[in-house]
Amino acid sequence: MRSKDTTVGNKAAFTQFFEKEKTVEFVRCKLTDMQGNLREVTVTKEQLSGTGITSVDGSSVFGKIIPPTESDMVLVPDTSTLFMVPWSQDTAQVICDIFFPPKKEGEELEPYAGCSRGALKRAMKGMEKIVKKHYPGKTITKVKALFAPELEFLLLPKEYDIAHIHTDSGLRNDHYFIPPADQANKALKIITQHLGVVGLKREKWHTEVATGQYEIGIGHGKVLRIADGTITAKDIIRTVAGQNGLKASFIPKFNRHVNGSGMHTHMNISAIIDDAEVNLFYDPKKPDGLSELGRKFIAGLLKYAREITSLTNSLPISYKRLVPGAEAPTRISWDWLNRTALCRGHSRGTTKVRVEYRAPDPMCNPYLAFSALLLAGLAGIEENLKLSPPDKRNLYHDNDGVAELPGSLTEALLLTNSSKMLRKGMGDFIIDTLFTLGMEECRVYNQAVTDWDIENYL
């Protein structure tokens, strides 16, 4: 496969940007590794405007999965993600796709199969074809998957003993919507301002349920842009926290007595039909407004929930959040506004109708998590799945006959590894690699001796 993507490496866009932002001297070229960790290399604007490409040692970024004999790769900036670093007058930032270097001058670049941003692009590729089949005889163009994550995280004073937060008996689930402390409030205002600088929507923030826990939104938009925005927002949150005497963390579970941090993700699909953009999840003829396409999408999420969980919840500790009664779902079900369900319908009966998937946590790789969610929903449309009736029970306590999400990362990885749907949509390389990396993480995690182990078993 050769890249013909015209959105990357656009020299004219760099030139225009530098003409507008005359103080720029440096550009931070960002990428994520397979597990969603942010990486970057900084180049001068002369380097970038000259070639639009910089190199990276793939074996150092991606570890043993890339042999050092084949480790040279190139980063190709996507100029649609080019913005100023909010806290610097001389530095811009851009998100990159990962390619192998050309074998000869002028040859098109071959995408690296382990580029998670590329995986999301592949997941998007067949979407229009699948949707068009659902509307025979209609003229449909510009099909878009629209996502909106809710980022939950901790903001704690630097003097707080964060290494022992798991034993802090003073934490409570009584923090929701209380006014934030002055220090955190100042940081949250700056974070929101910075989100606007990098092209994201400035939305509300609020305190979350657990002590020291907050939530912020980054808007509702095209899935690739929102995945880019998720890693950018996390970088901004961490940086601003440090600049304001705070420590930020996205750990999914930090104390057994309080709620963990999630990343509930809202989804719908839109398209241009007969020259008008419409929400394809909406049908005014349905009593609840949820279209047949929307129903099939949710049915796909439910059918493949167990197979995609290692991507939406990618750490061993993620599964200490996925427990009943703590604002995180464990039962594979759907309903309108039911917080105990895995999938919640929103904006019932309106043109904004959508689905919220409540399992993900903010330590996932957003490119791979969003890819998995999109592929599962599209599979539901392609397979013409029928959505079960809403389950209105409190599923924390009344869940007979309802399947559960995996109870550990090991179980989740085994399900992902055997998923034909994910292998078809993401490719064998990513699935095989995630399985290898994840199982090694589980091995190390299972060998760790914790305070709880010593207290209870010594």
Q: Single out the residue in 78, 112, 146 at which a domain terminates.
A: 112
- Does 87 map to a domain? yes
- Does 185 map to a domain? yes
Structurally, how many domains does the chain consist of?
2
Residue 204 has pLDDT above 60, yes or no: yes
Q: State mean pLDDT over 49-76.
A: 62
Domain span at residue 19 reads 11-112
Residues 163, 68 within the same domain: no
Q: At 19, which CATH number?
A: 3.10.20.70
Q: State mean pLDDT over 136-165.
A: 94
Query: 1 falls in which pLDDT band (50, 70, 90)?
Result: very low
Lowest model confidence (mean pLDDT) among 41-55, 294-308, 376-390, 430-444: 41-55
- Does 457 map to a domain? no
Please state, as a whole number, how many other Cβ atoms lie within 10 Å of the Cβ of residue 124.
20
Of 197, 203, 10, 13, nearest to 88 by C-alpha is 197
Residues 156, 102 within the same domain: no
Residue 45 has pLDDT above 90, yes or no: no
d(CA 328, CA 340): 7
Q: Single out the residue in 57, 77, 112 at which a domain terminates.
A: 112
Q: Under DSSP, is residue 332 helix (H, G, I), strand (E, B) or coil? A: coil
The residues, ordered by sequence, that sit 6+ positions from 70 with a Cβ below 8 Å of its Cβ are 58
Q: Single out the residue in 77, 112, 147 at which a domain terminates.
A: 112
pTM: 0.94
CA separation (Å) from 352 to 277, 278, 289? 12, 10, 9
Of 277, 311, 6, 274, nearest to 144 by C-alpha is 277
Q: What was the pLDDT predicted at 2?
A: 41
The DSSP secondary-structure symbol of 165 reads: G
* pLDDT tens, residue by residue, 103-149: 777 678 888 888 999 999 999 998 999 999 999 888 899 999 999 99
Residues 97, 170 within the same domain: no
Q: State mean pLDDT over 7-23.
A: 82
Residue 87 has pLDDT above 60, yes or no: yes
Q: State mean pLDDT over 319-330.
A: 89
